[in-house]
Structure 1
Amino acid sequence: MYPVTWRSTGAASGIGLAAAKRLAGMGMRVCLLDKAPNVIDLARQLGEGCEGFIMDMSNPWT
């Protein structure tokens, strides 16, 4: 099976975080995106293959 990377927006809480946790648990690489600074720590907690990025999806220049 080829590696899959999932991008999860709004990943610092709610449905975005729940999806990230589920998919990371299935062995997928997950890219967590959120404007909340704690998204980086959340990605680290999910383990290897997960990266957190601070960005505001409503502003393409962040």
Structure 2
Amino acid sequence: MDHEQAHWFKSSYSGGSGTECVEVADLASVIGVRDSKQPRGARLTVQRSAWTEFVRGLRSSASGECAVHS
């Protein structure tokens, strides 16, 4: 799927201002990540399995901080 045509969304934790947020999109085989301040700027693509592990780590962290694994 093209990045321009993707449905980008923000976390419900982002608040109502709509600025300074990370946006994500399901791009079929990968997850797209971008800065809401620069929607046409640089974007990351992350393998779905890596994104799933990243989100799982965030959810399981009691302090809200992501643990770093080597």
Q: TM-score, normalised by structure 1?
A: 0.26
Question: Which structure has the bigger radius of gyration?
Answer: 2
Instruction: Work out which structure has the larger RCO, using CA pairs closer than 8 Å and 6 or more positions apart in sequence.
Output: 1
Give the number of the structure whose residues are more often helix, by fraction: 1
Q: TM-score, normalised by structure 2?
A: 0.24
